[in-house]
Amino acid sequence: MSTSETTEFAVMDCPCGNGKILKYITTQDNPWSSAHISYGTNCGTCSRDWEISNFGTMTNRESENPYKAAYRAEQKIVSLIHAITDDLADQYFEKFADKPATVELREMQRLGIARFNIDKLRQARRQASKPSKNVYALRNPNWLADLANSAGRENEFGQLRADYEAAVSKTKEASSKVISRSIPRSYP
């Protein structure tokens, strides 16, 4: 049975100045285990206001909230886009259902949307996987726009693309306002 030992070091003053940011190094008493490094603080205010990661960064929670909200909104739009693109891809590849897998794969490669090699595609076909699961249709937005136009869904698809671009922009803007600091490896 192994035991561990944890050593604590102060690596910097906390943001409010009332405490320290601490680095914890936990080591096992056996030669094959590596050290586990984590960070924390001994300040109640900063532990409430700052998220301290084990990667050596600290992020202000209040400044991160708008970013998290924008990212969630972006992901909702992404799921709507995937729903329409999956539907369009499935409809398009219906005509390849009775053809050899090699023909279907060539078409996927021609469009630049193939995710698999021939063996994986054959396996997916045997498992009755939908064609949309075998491609990454968003790699070819022009093809998708043509499919949406042919299916009479160009307005829906176009609006989702515009919403997505706006959401990405909003997420990027919110990301730039997140207050984050690196934690030094040691205290001066």
Using the Cα atoms of residue 167, residue 115, residue 142 and residue 148 in order, give the sign of their dihedral. negative
pLDDT of residue 23: 93
Quick check: is 49 in a domain?
yes
Q: Domain end: 19, 38, 55, which one?
A: 55
78 plus 32 within the same structural domain: no
76 plus 143 within the same structural domain: yes
SS (H, E, C) 92-155: HHHHHCCCCHHHHHHHHHHHCCECCCHHHHHHHHHCCCCHHHCECHHHCHHHHHHHHHHCCCHH
14 plus 73 within the same structural domain: no
Question: Residue 42 in contact with residue 19, Cβ under 8 Å?
Answer: yes
Helices (H) and strands (E) in the chain, counts: 6, 6
72 plus 158 within the same structural domain: yes
Quick check: is 185 in a domain?
no
Question: Number of folded domains in the chain?
Answer: 2
pLDDT of residue 54: 86
Quick check: is 181 in a domain?
no
* Mean pLDDT, contiguous 10-residue spans, the chain (188 residues): 83 94 89 86 95 92 96 96 96 94 95 93 93 93 94 95 96 96 77
pLDDT of residue 184: 86
59 CB contacts (<8 Å, ≥6 apart)? Answer: 50, 51, 53, 178, 179, 180, 181
18 plus 96 within the same structural domain: no
Quick check: is 184 in a domain?
no
pLDDT of residue 1: 56
Spatial distance between the Cα atoms of 103 and 86, rounded to a whole number of angstroms: 20
134 plus 49 within the same structural domain: no
SS (H, E, C) 20-48: EEEEEEEEECCCCCCCEEEEEECCHHHHH
Q: Which residue range forms the structural domain that includes residue 9?
A: 4-55
Quick check: is 187 in a domain?
no
Which residue type sits at 133?
K
8 plus 92 within the same structural domain: no
The pTM of this model reads: 0.75
